[in-house]
Structure 1
Amino acid sequence: MDLVIKNGTIITATDTYKADIAVEDGKIIMIGKNITQTEGAKLVDASGKYVLPGAIDAHTHLEMPFGGTTSADSYEAGTRAAACGGVTTVFDFVIQRKGQGLIEAVEGRRTICDPQACVDYSFHTAITDLTPEILEEMKESVEYGVPSFKLFMVYKKEGLMVDDGVLAKALEKSKDIGALIAVHAENPDLIDMRIEKFLSEGKTSAWYHYLSRPEFVEAEANKRAIHWAKAFDAPLYIVHLANKEGLEEVTKARNEGYEIYAETCPQYLHFTNEVYKREDGRNFVCSPPIKGKESQEALWKGILNGSIQTVATDHCPFQSYEKDWGKDDFTKIPNGCMGIENLYPYMLSEANKGRISFNKVVEVCSTNVAKIFGCAPQKGTIAAGSDADIVIYDPNKKFVVSKENMHSDVDHTIWEGIELKGYPVMTFSRGKLVYKDGQFLGTPGHGQFIKCKGRK
Structure 2
Amino acid sequence: MGFDSIVTNGVIVTATEVLSLGIEIGIKDGKISCLGTSLPRDNDTEIIDAKGAYITPGGVDTHVHFAQDNSPTGDDFTTGSRSAIAGGTTTVIAFASQLRAEESVLPCVAEYHTRAKDLSYCDYGFHLILTNPSPTIMTKEMPQLMEDGITSIKLYMTYEPMKLGDAQVLDVLMASRALGFTTMVHAENSDIISLITDRLESAGHSSPYFHAISRPQIAENEATYRIISLAELTDTPILIVHMSSEVAMKHVRKAQTRMLPIHAETCPQYLFLLSDRLRGNDQDTFSGAKCVCSPPLRHDPKDLEAMWTGIANGTFTTFSSDHAPSTYDNPGGKKKGLVNGVMRYRDIPNGVPGVETRVPLLFNHAGPEKDARLSLPRFVQLTSTDPAKLYGLDGVKGSIAPGYDADLVIWYPESELAGGVEISQKMLHHGVDYTPFESMNVKNWPRWTYLRGKKIWDRDNGGVIGDMSDGKFLKRGKGKVVVGRMGNEATGMLPGERDYWR
Q: TM-score, normalised by structure 2?
A: 0.88
Question: Within 2, Cα distance between the matches of 1:363 and 1:100?
Answer: 38
The Cα of 1:393 is off from its aligned counterpart by 1.0
Pairing of 1:214-293 with structure 2 (within 5 A): 214-279=216-281, 280-292=287-299, 293=301
CA contact (8 A) 1:28 1:386 kept: yes
Identify the residue that residue 318 of structure 1 maps to in structure 2: 326
Identify the residue that residue 411 of structure 1 maps to in structure 2: 433
Q: Which runs of 4+ in 1 moved over 4 A?
A: none
Question: Within 1, Cα distance between the matches of 2:178 and 2:197?
Answer: 39
Question: Within 2, Cα distance between the matches of 1:421 and 1:364?
Answer: 19
Pairing of 1:367-446 with structure 2 (within 5 A): 367-396=385-414, 397=417, 398-437=420-459, 439-446=463-470
CA contact (8 A) 2:67 2:115 kept: no
From 446, 452, 455, give the equivalent of 2:476. Answer: 452
Question: Residues 335-367 of structure 1: CA distance to partner in whole angstroms, max 9, x if unpaired?
Answer: 110000001111111114612111111001110
Question: Within 1, Cα distance between the matches of 2:73 and 2:193?
Answer: 23
The Cα of 1:139 is off from its aligned counterpart by 2.2
Question: Within 2, Cα distance between the matches of 1:242 and 1:357?
Answer: 22
Question: Residues 68-127 of structure 1: CA distance to partner in whole angstroms, max 9, x if unpaired?
Answer: x42511100000100000000000011012324334322221111012011100111000
CA contact (8 A) 2:86 2:464 kept: yes
Tell me, which stretches of 5 or more residues in structure 1 are unaligned?
A: none
1:357 is aligned to 2:375: yes
From 119, 123, 137, give the equivalent of 2:122. Answer: 119
From 28, 38, 47, give the equivalent of 1:24. Answer: 28
CA contact (8 A) 1:20 1:31 kept: yes
Identify the residue that residue 41 of structure 2 maps to in structure 1: 37
Identify the residue that residue 483 of structure 2 maps to in structure 1: none
Instruction: Name the count of aligned residue pairs.
Output: 452
Question: Within 2, Cα distance between the matches of 1:102 and 1:21?
Answer: 42
CA contact (8 A) 2:389 2:479 kept: no
CA contact (8 A) 1:61 1:71 kept: no
Question: Residues 236-293 of structure 1: CA distance to partner in whole angstroms, max 9, x if unpaired?
Answer: 1111111111101101111111100000001111112221223221100011111132
The SS at the match of 2:33 is: strand
1:308 is aligned to 2:311: no
Tell me, which stretches of 5 or more residues in structure 2 are unaligned?
A: 282-286, 481-502
Question: Residues 202-242 of structure 1: CA distance to partner in whole angstroms, max 9, x if unpaired?
Answer: 11221100000021111111111111001111101111111
- CA radius of gyration, larger in: 2
Question: Within 2, Cα distance between the matches of 1:155 and 1:15?
Answer: 42
Identify the residue that residue 5 of structure 2 maps to in structure 1: 3
**Structure 1 or 2: more strand by fraction:** 1
CA contact (8 A) 1:143 1:454 kept: no
Question: Within 1, Cα distance between the matches of 2:185 and 2:72?
Answer: 22
The SS at the match of 2:10 is: strand
The Cα of 1:429 is off from its aligned counterpart by 0.5
Question: Within 2, Cα distance between the matches of 1:86 and 1:343?
Answer: 9
Q: CA RMSD, aligned part only?
A: 1.4
Q: TM-score, normalised by structure 1?
A: 0.96
From 59, 63, 69, give the equivalent of 1:65. Answer: 69
Pairing of 1:326-365 with structure 2 (within 5 A): 326-327=337-338, 328-352=343-367, 354-365=372-383
CA contact (8 A) 1:119 1:447 kept: yes
Aligned-pair identity (%): 34
CA contact (8 A) 1:395 1:421 kept: no
Question: Within 1, Cα distance between the matches of 2:103 and 2:44?
Answer: 50
Question: Within 2, Cα distance between the matches of 1:190 and 1:301?
Answer: 27
Identify the residue that residue 296 of structure 1 maps to in structure 2: 304
Q: Aligned partner of 1:305: which letter?
A: N
